[in-house]
A and B are shown apart, each in its own frame.
Chain A
C-alpha cells in the first residue's frame, strides 16, 4: 500500500527499478542516476529485488548502506516484472515516480526531461526508444506489431509500450493496480483507470552490457489474451453489460437467421422440409447463447457495482484546467 503522503523528509522524485539477477548493473545504475540528477530535485532510488538468485540483494544493500537515498525492497520470491513494479510503486514516496529497467538499457539522463514534461501538465510521460539497440527479428518486429495492435485497439497513442522508462504522477499510480503481465499495457491502463493525460518523448537506448535479455518470441497467445482484457477494460469497464449485449445481439441475429431458414423450409420453398429439425435446433442453440451472454452481462454489472461501493478510486482523476 502507498506510504503516507505527509512524510516531511520524503523526496520529490522516486526512481523505481525492478531487478532480477542484475548484480553487475547495480553500481553502474547507481552512478548513472547520481550523475544524471543534480541538486534541484531531492530523489530516492527504490531498488526492488524480484527474488534474484544471484547477489543482487547483497550488492543493493551495500549500495544502500553507503547512500541513504537508496532504498531496497525485497520480494519474498520471484513474482515477475509487473508485481515488482507494483511493489516499488507502493514503496515510493515521491510526488513524481519514474520507472526504469535495471539493465542499463535506459539512460537516467533522460529523467529530467521526462519530469519536466510531466510538470507541464501530464499524468504519465512515456519514453520511446528512438534508435533501439536490440535484435531485429526476435525483438523489434514483434514489438512493432504488438505496439501497433495495442495502439489501434486501445486508442492510446503510444508508439512504444515496452519501454520501461516512464514518469508518473503519484495520483495516477494510486489508481492503477497492476497484476498478471499488465506492465506492458501501462499507458492504456492509466488512461482507462485514472483517465490519465498521456504523452511520449524520445529517450536514449543502449545495448545490454551484462546479463541476459529476459523476453522471448513465444508469447503471442498470452499477449493476445492480455490485449483482449485491456481492450475490454478500456472500453467497457464502466458498462460491461454493453459488451455482453453486443455478443448477445450477434447470437440473436444468428438465431433469427436460422429461424428464417427454418420458416422458408417449412414454407415448402426448399426440399429440406422433410428433415426440418436441424435448423430449429440451431435456432435454439443461438437463443441459448444470447440468453447466457445477457446473464453474464448482468453479473458483470453486479461485480462493478460491488467494486464501486468499496473502492471510490475507481473514478478517474479530475484536473482543473489552468488558463
Chain B
C-alpha cells in the first residue's frame, strides 16, 4: 500500500489518449506549487500499453505515479470506481486522459472542496475552441441542462474534484459517470461549478463517427429515464401506452362503425394497425405496472434521501 496523500488524481485512459507524461507534468505543477501531497493513478486497459509504457520513466524517477490495469473493457464508470477504491487521498480529482482545461483549474476546484463542497466541477467558460466543438456541446446541453434545473453548465467536462467518499457512495453504473454532476445533484450532494479556460490543445475541431453520436443519444435517454422515472415507471410507460392505446382504439372504433354500416372487415388492413397499437399500448402499461411492482417491493432496501451532513451549513450553495 503506498503512503497516504491528500489528493488522488485519477486518469481513466479511455478515449482521445494523448501523451500521458505531458499530462502529468502539466497538471502536477500547480498541485506541487500549492504544496499538496498528491498521487496520480492512471487506470487503463492493456491495449493502451504503448501509452502507459511512457509512464515508467516517471515511476522510476520517483514521481507519485501509479498505473492500474483492467483487463476487460468495462467502461469509464467502472474504471473510475475501481480507481477511487485504490485512491488513498481524501480528495479525488478526475481528469480525462487528454488536455481538456488549463491546469490552473485544479487549485480552484480543490479550494471549493476544502470549503465544503461535495463535488466541484470545471465549467469551460468562455469557450474559445472550434465552432464545431461548441455546437456539439450546445446540442448536448439543450437536453441535459434542464435536467439539472439549469444549475450545471458544462456536464461534459471531465475535470472534477470531490471528497473521495462521494465517488464511493454514488450509485453510478454504465456510462453515467459522464453525467456525474447531475447524478450528484439528485443524490443531494452539494455541487459547485468553477469557470476555467479551455486548454489550447483541446481547441482543434473534433468530429466523431456516427456510432459515437448514437451512443451519446442513448446515454441521454437513459439519463432522462434514470433521473425522472426510476421511482415512478408507470408515469413514463403509462403515458406512452395510453397514447398508443388511444390511437389504436380510435382506429378500431372507426373500423367497427363502418362494419356496422355494412362495409367488410376482413379486407381492411388498417384493422391490423389498430390492433397493433392497442397491443403495444397494453404492453407498455403492463411493463410500467411491473416496474411499479418492483419499486414497491424493493422500497425498503434503499434510503431515498440524504441528510445534510453538517447541520450548520446553509441549505443552498451560494450562487457561484
Do the beta carbons of B267 and A275 come within 8 Å of each other?
yes
> Which of the segments B70-78, B109-117, B270-278 contacts the partner chain?
B270-278
Do the beta carbons of A274 and B267 come within 8 Å of each other?
yes
Do the beta carbons of A285 and B267 come within 8 Å of each other?
no
Contacts A285-B279, A300-B293 given; does A278 touch B306 at CB 8 Å: no
B235 near A: Cβ within 8 Å?
A: yes
Contacts A179-B295, A180-B232, A265-B266 given; does A83 touch B304 at CB 8 Å: yes
Do the beta carbons of B306 and A76 come within 8 Å of each other?
yes
**Whole-angstrom distance between the Cβ of A302 and the nearest chain B Cβ:** 10
Do the beta carbons of A296 and B290 come within 8 Å of each other?
yes
List A contacts of B188 (CB < 8 A).
Answer: 75-77, 79
List B contacts of A265 (CB < 8 A).
Answer: 266
Interface size class of B (residues with CB under 8 A): 35 or more
List B contacts of A209 (CB < 8 A).
Answer: none
List A contacts of B288 (CB < 8 A).
Answer: 225
Q: Please name the residue on chain A nearest to B267 by beta carbon.
A: A275
List A contacts of B294 (CB < 8 A).
Answer: 300, 303
B60 near A: Cβ within 8 Å?
A: no
Instruction: Kindly state the separation between the CA atoms of A146 and B185 in the bound complex, as whole angstroms.
Output: 33
CB-contacts of B34-76 with A (<8 A): none
**Whole-angstrom distance between the Cβ of A159 and the nearest chain B Cβ:** 25
Do the beta carbons of B286 and A285 come within 8 Å of each other?
no
A13 near B: Cβ within 8 Å?
A: no
Do the beta carbons of B301 and A311 come within 8 Å of each other?
yes
Instruction: Kindly state the separation between the CA atoms of A43 and B232 in the bound complex, as whole angstroms.
Output: 35
A134 near B: Cβ within 8 Å?
A: no
> Which of the segments A26-34, A110-118, A125-133, A243-251 contacts the partner chain?
A243-251
CB-contacts of B76-128 with A (<8 A): none
CB-contacts of A79-124 with B (<8 A): 79, 83-84, 86-87, 90
1/0 per position for B307-320, CB-CB distance to A under 8 A?
Answer: 11101101110000
List B contacts of A75 (CB < 8 A).
Answer: 188, 305-308
Interface centre among B231, B296, B298 (most CB of A within 10 A): B296
A242 near B: Cβ within 8 Å?
A: no
List A contacts of B266 (CB < 8 A).
Answer: 261-262, 265, 270, 272-273, 275-279
Do the beta carbons of A180 and B231 come within 8 Å of each other?
yes
A150 near B: Cβ within 8 Å?
A: no
Contacts A76-B190, A232-B289 given; does A285 touch B295 at CB 8 Å: no
Instruction: Kindly state the separation between the CA atoms of A246 and B143 in the bound complex, as whole angstroms.
Output: 40
Do the beta carbons of A87 and B305 come within 8 Å of each other?
yes
A286 near B: Cβ within 8 Å?
A: yes
1/0 per position for A47-58, CB-CB distance to B under 8 A?
Answer: 001011100010
**Whole-angstrom distance between the Cβ of A284 and the nearest chain B Cβ:** 10
1/0 per position for A268-305, CB-CB distance to B under 8 A?
Answer: 00111111111101100110110011001001100110
B238 near A: Cβ within 8 Å?
A: yes
Contacts A52-B315, A77-B185, A87-B307 given; does A311 touch B300 at CB 8 Å: yes
Instruction: Kindly state the separation between the CA atoms of A49 and B235 in the bound complex, as whole angstroms.
Output: 27
List A contacts of B298 (CB < 8 A).
Answer: 307
Instruction: Kindly state the separation between the CA atoms of A148 and B304 in the bound complex, as whole angstroms.
Output: 30
B27 near A: Cβ within 8 Å?
A: no
Do the beta carbons of A313 and B300 come within 8 Å of each other?
yes
Contacts A225-B235, A285-B275 given; does A74 touch B297 at CB 8 Å: no
A256 near B: Cβ within 8 Å?
A: no
List A contacts of B231 (CB < 8 A).
Answer: 179-180
Instruction: Kindly state the separation between the CA atoms of A186 and B207 in the bound complex, as whole angstroms.
Output: 53
CB-contacts of A175-220 with B (<8 A): 177-181
Do the beta carbons of B269 and A296 come within 8 Å of each other?
no
**Within the complex, which residue of B275, B286, B290 is in contact with A286, where a contact is CB–CB below 8 Å?**
B275
Q: Please name the residue on chain A nearest to B239 by beta carbon.
A: A221
A228 near B: Cβ within 8 Å?
A: yes
List B contacts of A228 (CB < 8 A).
Answer: 234, 238, 289
Instruction: Kindly state the separation between the CA atoms of A7 and B315 in the bound complex, as whole angstroms.
Output: 30
Instruction: Kindly state the separation between the CA atoms of A296 and B293 in the bound complex, as whole angstroms.
Output: 11
B299 near A: Cβ within 8 Å?
A: yes
A319 near B: Cβ within 8 Å?
A: no
B265 near A: Cβ within 8 Å?
A: yes
Q: Please name the residue on chain A nearest to B281 by beta carbon.
A: A289
Q: Please name the residue on chain A nearest to B300 by beta carbon.
A: A177
Do the beta carbons of B315 and A57 come within 8 Å of each other?
yes
Interface centre among A74, A221, A228 (most CB of B within 10 A): A74
Contacts A1-B303, A76-B188 given; does A232 touch B293 at CB 8 Å: yes
B287 near A: Cβ within 8 Å?
A: yes
Instruction: Kindly state the separation between the CA atoms of A232 and B234 in the bound complex, as whole angstroms.
Output: 12
Interface centre among B266, B276, B303 (most CB of A within 10 A): B266
Do the beta carbons of B307 and A74 come within 8 Å of each other?
yes
Do the beta carbons of B232 and A243 come within 8 Å of each other?
no
List B contacts of A262 (CB < 8 A).
Answer: 266
Apart from A79-B304, A179-B231, A261-B265, list 7 A-B contacts with CB within 8 A: A72-B311, A76-B189, A76-B309, A225-B288, A270-B266, A272-B264, A281-B272
A residues with CB within 8 A of B: 1, 49, 51-53, 57, 61, 72-77, 79, 83-84, 86-87, 90, 177-181, 221-222, 225-226, 228-229, 232-233, 237, 240, 243-244, 247, 251, 261-262, 265, 270-279, 281-282, 285-286, 288-289, 292-293, 296, 299-300, 303-304, 306-307, 310-311, 313-314
Across the A-B interface, give the 7 residue pairs with the lowest CB-CB distance, nearest first.
Answer: A272-B266, A76-B188, A307-B297, A177-B299, A275-B267, A74-B308, A76-B306
- Some 26 contacts from A to B, beta carbons below 8 A apart, are A57-B311, A61-B311, A75-B307, A76-B308, A79-B305, A87-B305, A179-B231, A179-B295, A221-B239, A225-B239, A228-B289, A229-B289, A232-B293, A233-B296, A237-B297, A243-B289, A262-B266, A270-B266, A276-B266, A277-B266, A278-B268, A285-B276, A293-B283, A307-B298, A311-B301, A313-B300
